[in-house]
Amino acid sequence: MQLPSVDNFVKDPRLGITYNICAYRKLSGEEMMRAVQVFTQQQGGYRPRQGTVVKIFSVIGLNES
């Protein structure tokens, strides 16, 4: 399986964190927010430092034609 190659950037201005969600297609704003929520929940309370860029790999769009 090939890794996702489409970068989708969203910034949290409150925390100063940029999220780069790598997916198989361009994501909507809602899809990006959901990917960040899932990532945050999986981290168990860990919060990246201000100014950090976090890379998230997503399977969204994998089986779409």
**pLDDT band with cut points at 50, 70 and 90 for residue 58:** very high
Q: Which domain holds residue 31?
A: 6-57
The reply to whether 17 falls in a domain is yes
The reply to whether 51 falls in a domain is yes
The reply to whether 64 falls in a domain is no
Question: Rounded to two decimals, what is the model's pTM?
Answer: 0.88
pLDDT at 57: 96
The reply to whether 63 falls in a domain is no
How many domains is the chain built from?
Answer: 1
Residue pLDDT, tens place only, 22-53: 999 999 999 999 999 999 999 987 889 999 99
Q: How far apart are CA 18 and CA 64, in angstroms?
A: 27
- What is the residue type of 5? S
The reply to whether 19 falls in a domain is yes
Q: How far apart are CA 56 and CA 19, in angstroms?
A: 7
